[in-house]
Amino acid sequence: MSEPILQFGTSRFLLAHVALFVSQALERDEAIGGISVVQTTGNPVSHARIAALSRPGGYPVRIRGSERGSIVDKVIVSHAIRAAWVADRDWASVRRAAIDDVRVIVSNTGDMGYRLDERDGLDLLESDAAVPRSFPAKLLALLHARWRERPSEGVSVFPCELVENNGDTLRDIVLGLARQWVLPEAFADYLGKRCVWVNSLVDRIVSEPIDPVGAVAEPYALWAIERRSGMELPCTHENIVLTDDLRSYERLKLFFLNLGHSWLAEQWIAGRRASSETVLDAMNDPQMRAGIETVWEEEVLPVFAAMQLRDQGERYIASVRERLMNPYLDHRIADIAQNHAEKVKRRILPLIELADSLSVPAGQPRLRGVLAAHRLIPRAQA
């Protein structure tokens, strides 16, 4: 018998967030069970992490920072992961688990995770050993195999990628792929009606890995989950919030924390600054600090004011400022700058489009300058 939670991705973020939540809940008998994790990339670091996760004893998560005025510096050993697989090597095990025991699927596949691969096709479903290349095709193949043997038993899918309406988006991609491959309408009904695709937002700064497996993270953690009829949660936890207004959580995080990170990364790249520079270094640099504070106050906050959310925005800025100035995290801007162009498109462009739709008087010259440098034009100006 395998575990009821199937997790796609072995990133240090998931290890210090969802998997840690499940581990802590298991200690209180408040989780549906353990996790089987699937590594979908083939780089050596990932393989080393899978090898470490396969060994007994769990892995460490070091929590460092300030929480309610007190210093936190502790190590928690996470024991939720009970099986660790490499998709290209262990696909038969992944497939069998998806058919037999999985009730919840969690993913965090990075900025490119929802992209399809034209090499994936219907033939993948005709072989138990064939491994799809893209994550949506992998998910489609697993759910198709489950549907064939258990057509009335769906799963709850919790994407954690930073994509607006991530559950709806992933569902539509998988459904679109099913229709592209001309799969039975009964299977499409299964995907849309038996499976529950949940929009959610994850928020925690996980600054560095612990080798060979583990992570260093801040005390702050949030998993905001949009209520959906019929969904099954992997666990209950004090940092899980069920909400009917996920959009407000998404916009606060995306446009203050994530946009702020990408603003720092843009200045770091343009200024050819030191590869070792951290977020804390930048926040203590007068020029970098003045830049991000100006962007928050003059270019982002007016958008929230136009939505009658100025007070909420100001409170969130204060919390983000405190988090970015955490002296205990070594959060390198070089790490934030990975896939920078894609992050600019997801974090800055939507803010400008929202500002234009609300006719916000602030011109956002700094953020529009970033978009121009990346040849991105808001839809209203296209």
Q: How far apart are CA 353 and CA 370, in angstroms?
A: 14
Give the other-Cβ count within 10 Å of 377's Cβ: 13
pTM of structure: 0.89
Q: Given a cut of 90, is residue 70 above it in pLDDT?
A: no
Average pLDDT, the chain: 94
Pairing type for strands 215-217 and 206-209 reads antiparallel
Per-domain residue ranges for the chain? Answer: 5-244, 247-381
349-357 helix and 340-347 helix, angle to the nearest 10 degrees: 20
Q: How far apart are CA 163 and CA 217, in angstroms?
A: 22
pLDDT for the residue 5? 98
| pLDDT tens per residue, range 123-158 | 888 777 789 999 999 999 999 999 999 999 999 999
pLDDT for the residue 113? 87
φ, ψ dihedrals at 11, nearest 5°? -60, 155
Q: How far apart are CA 11 and CA 206, in angstroms?
A: 10
- Reported confidence tier of residue 84, pLDDT bands at 50, 70, 90: very high
pLDDT for the residue 110? 77
Pairing type for strands 196-197 and 156-159 reads parallel
Tell me yes or no: is domain 247-381 CATH 1.10.1040.10: yes
- Reported confidence tier of residue 380, pLDDT bands at 50, 70, 90: low
Q: How far apart are CA 23 and CA 58, in angstroms?
A: 10
Least confident stretch, 68-72, 143-147, 160-164, 359-363: 68-72
- Decide if 5-244 and 247-381 have a common fold: no
b/e per residue 282-295 (b: at least 16 CB within 10 A): bbeeeebbebbeeb
Structural element, H or E, at residue 104: strand 104-107
| pLDDT tens per residue, range 219-236 | 999 999 999 999 999 999
pLDDT for the residue 381? 64
pLDDT for the residue 225? 98
Superfamily of domain 5-244: NAD(P)-binding Rossmann-like Domain (3.40.50.720)
Gyration radius of the chain over CA positions: 21
Please name which of 138, 225, 136 lies closest in space to residue 172, comparing C-alpha atoms.
Answer: 136
Q: Which residues contact 87 (CB under 8 A, 6 or more apart)?
A: 38, 39, 40, 94, 131, 138
Q: Which amino acid is at 185?
A: E
Q: Given a cut of 60, is residue 382 above it in pLDDT?
A: no
